[in-house]
């Protein structure tokens, strides 16, 4: 089951850093993550920035290409600390979804995600 918005408040957010190490690309990307029901979830906005793709493009591709249990909306604190409704994507499903990534940055991000899902 994907995270759903509730009235009890926001999820606890932790910060992770992805460093692609590619010349001409931003040195590192800060990704906000949430642990929910034993699964790690990333904010779609942060994942899109790390992939180098527009946020709406990733959102539409996830909604059409992933199972409904792989993504969802939840109340998460934004950068200012106020609760906001944001889309979350499960890390393991996003890594499988990116198997056909064509860009170098996309392939590096997929490998980084796969490293997070391994025990």
Q: Mean pLDDT for each 10-residue chunk of the chain (119 residues)?
A: 51 83 77 89 92 90 90 87 90 88 85 82
List, in sequence order, every residue forming a beta bridge with 40; answer none if it has no partner: 35
**In the structure encoding, which two tokens stand for residue 112, read together?**
């980084």
pTM exceeding the 0.85 threshold for the entire prediction = no
Segments making up each domain of the chain, as ranges: 14-117
Give the whole-angstrom CA distance, residue 55 versus residue 86. Answer: 12
> In sequence order, which ranges of the chain are alpha helices (DSSP H)?
44-51, 55-65, 91-97, 104-117
Give the whole-angstrom CA distance, residue 116 versus residue 111. Answer: 9
């Amino acid at each position: 089951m994907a995270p759903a918005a509730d009235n009890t408040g926001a999820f606890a957010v932790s910060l992770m850093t992805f460093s692609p190490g590619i010349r001409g690309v931003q040195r590192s990307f800060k990704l906000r993550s949430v642990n929910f029901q034993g699964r790690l979830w990333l904010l779609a906005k942060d994942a899109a920035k790390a992939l180098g793709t527009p946020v709406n493009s990733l959102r539409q591709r996830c909604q059409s290409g992933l199972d409904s249990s792989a993504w969802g909306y939840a109340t998460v604190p934004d950068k200012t600390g106020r609760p906001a409704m944001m889309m979350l994507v499960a890390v393991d499903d996003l890594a499988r979804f990116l198997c056909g990534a064509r860009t170098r940055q996309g392939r590096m991000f997929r490998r980084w995600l796969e490293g997070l899902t391994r025990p």
